Structure 1
Amino acid sequence: MALDRWESRLEDLFQGRPYDMLDATLSDTVEKFPVDIQVHPLDLKKSRYRNIDELYIYCYYVVGTIGLMSVPVMGIAPESHATTKVYNDALALGIANQLTNGDVGKE
């Protein structure tokens, strides 16, 4: 299955074994800005949500986490006093992007 191959390739990338130049670029970024990534394939499980709470959880895992992971890449030091606000704003931006995507909740 293609998803299984992609997951295996991603695991290799995070272990410093890139497949190609694009993977090498991401591998370098992951090495410089380590993050704890856990796969949550919510797009594969469900396409409609009963209420805003379910939709928020979906948006958090699918795109909110990307906002969170981007903070150190943008140069915000972990010891910065603005960290909590910056991370909250990054999370909110990711969720807002997903909500305005147009694909949320479509079958």
Structure 2
Amino acid sequence: MVVHMMLDAALSDTVEKFPVDIQLLKDMIEGIRFDQKKSRYKNFKLYLYCYFVSKTIGLMCVPVMGIAPESYATTEVYNAALALGIANKLTNILRDVGEE
């Protein structure tokens, strides 16, 4: 219970200090629900799964890193954050294939 309270406090503090899009948090929670429902994805529906469980995290990190939404580089930065998110998730999946 104490750990949950600490995590709630940390999340509340982050959302208060930085312009994190709340929809990204909702999408990440939806990704966690994907994990509870299904573990195999045909073809590249995997990319949708990767958005919910990994790309959202990369996107939430952008404002925390201090990049203002009105920045001229925002599109490039967000595209890089999306690419990094999918690369990280696909790497994790490939790493786990042998174990599963």
TM-score by length of 2: 0.77
Q: Where in structure 2 are the equivalents of 1:39-58 lying within 5 Å?
A: 39-40=29-30, 41-51=33-43, 53-58=44-49
Q: Could you say which residue in structure 2 is the equivalent of 1:4?
A: none
**Secondary structure of residue in 2 paired with 1:79:** coil
Q: Where in structure 2 are the equivalents of 1:1-107 lying within 5 Å?
A: 20-33=5-18, 34-36=20-22, 37-38=25-26, 39-40=29-30, 41-51=33-43, 53-101=44-92, 102-103=95-96
Residue type at the aligned position of 2:11: L
Distance 2:6 2:41 in 1: 38
Distance 1:29 1:97 in 2: 23
Tell me the matched-pair count.
88
Larger relative contact order (Cα-Cα within 8 Å, sequence gap ≥ 6):
2
TM-score by length of 1: 0.72
Residue type at the aligned position of 1:27: S
Distance 2:14 2:64 in 1: 8
**Secondary structure of residue in 2 paired with 1:99:** helix
Q: Deviations over 1:6-32 (max 9, x none)?
A: xxxxxxxxxxxxx63342222100111
Q: CA deviation at 1:87?
A: 0.4
- Overall identity of the aligned pairs, in %: 69
Distance 1:61 1:103 in 2: 19
Which structure is higher in helix share? Answer: 2
Distance 1:22 1:86 in 2: 27
